[in-house]
């Protein structure tokens, strides 16, 4: 009887070892890699409101994400981003540096410093891509990219008058392992 149990145990161990060795490279190490892919929505507030004339503006953004942090593991998160854009207007909003703190529902967080930004404006929609690095918490040291597609929460004619106070849209955040 003991010989049979030993053979079953050895066979089970061999199968488990083979499963670990043969795991696809895309899944290897993802559970503890610190990476995350998040999608959701955001809202921005501009101070002062944006007009057609470029000016220095403070930007505050709040995001709500659903983040995949490991295969089959999704957790809710919120992001809070602050930046100063030296030449912001209704036509383009880019900031040379922004900081986002992402708080995950599993009690982890990531602090991301973005130091590169590109913006494309077409047909009333602004697409902004921020690139940087996680400086603290989950994913520390890993590259991060945040892409947002903004839709004005006010009429575009506000750019001619009192200014655009904010916008909202879809957000995607990727922290690469």
Kind and range of the H or E run holding 5: helix 2-21
Residues 42 and 86 in one domain: yes
Residues 17 and 63 in one domain: no
Residues 64 and 136 in one domain: yes
Torsion of CA 105, 137, 81, 91, to 10 degrees: -120
Residue 27 has pLDDT above 70, yes or no: no
Measured distance between the N- and C-terminal CA atoms of the chain, rounded to whole angstroms: 47
Residues 71 and 154 in one domain: yes
Phi first, then psi: give them for residue 91, nearest 5 degrees. -85, -35
Please check whether residue 98 is in contact with residue 82, taking contact to mean a CB–CB distance below 8 angstroms. yes
Q: Of all residues in the chain, what percent carry a pLDDT higher than 90?
A: 57
Residues 49 and 129 in one domain: yes
**Per-residue pLDDT reduced to its tens digit, 44-63:** 999 999 999 999 999 999 99
Residues 67 and 147 in one domain: yes
Residues 18 and 47 in one domain: no
Residues 111 and 133 in one domain: yes
- Count the domains in the chain: 2
Residue 25 has pLDDT above 60, yes or no: no
- DSSP assignment of 106-118: TS-EEEEEEEEEE
The one-character DSSP state at 165 is E
Residue 24 has pLDDT above 80, yes or no: no
- The pTM is what? 0.77
Residues 6 and 41 in one domain: no
State the residue range of the domain holding 74. 32-175
Residues 103 and 117 in one domain: yes
**Per-residue pLDDT reduced to its tens digit, 125-137:** 888 899 999 999 9
Please check whether residue 30 is in contact with residue 138, taking contact to mean a CB–CB distance below 8 angstroms. no
Residues 9 and 42 in one domain: no
Which residues have CB under 8 Å from 103's CB, separation 6+?
77, 78, 79, 80, 109
Q: What's the average model confidence in pLDDT over 24-44?
A: 67
Q: What's the average model confidence in pLDDT over 81-100?
A: 88
Q: Among 14-18, 47-51, 103-107, where is mean pLDDT lowest? A: 14-18
Instruction: Give me the residues paired with residue 87 across strands.
Output: none
Residues 81 and 167 in one domain: yes
């Amino acid at each position: 009887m003991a010989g049979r149990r030993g053979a079953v145990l050895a066979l089970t161990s061999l199968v488990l070892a083979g499963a670990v060795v043969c795991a696809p490279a895309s899944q290897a190490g993802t559970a503890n890699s610190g990476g995350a892919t998040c999608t959701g929505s955001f809202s921005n507030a501009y101070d002062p409101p944006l007009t057609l004339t470029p000016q220095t503006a403070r930007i505050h953004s709040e995001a709500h994400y659903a983040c995949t942090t490991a295969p089959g593991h999704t957790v809710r998160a919120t992001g809070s981003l602050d930046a100063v854009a030296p030449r912001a207007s209704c036509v383009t909003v880019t900031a040379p540096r922004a900081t986002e703190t992402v708080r995950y529902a599993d009690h982890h967080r990531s602090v991301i410093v973005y130091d590169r930004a590109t913006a494309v404006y077409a047909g009333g929609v602004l697409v902004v891509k921020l690139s940087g690095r996680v400086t603290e918490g989950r994913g520390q040291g890993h590259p991060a990219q945040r892409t947002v597609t903004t839709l004005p929460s006010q009429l575009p004619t506000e750019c001619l008058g009192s200014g655009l106070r904010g916008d909202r849209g879809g957000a995607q955040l990727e922290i690469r392992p």
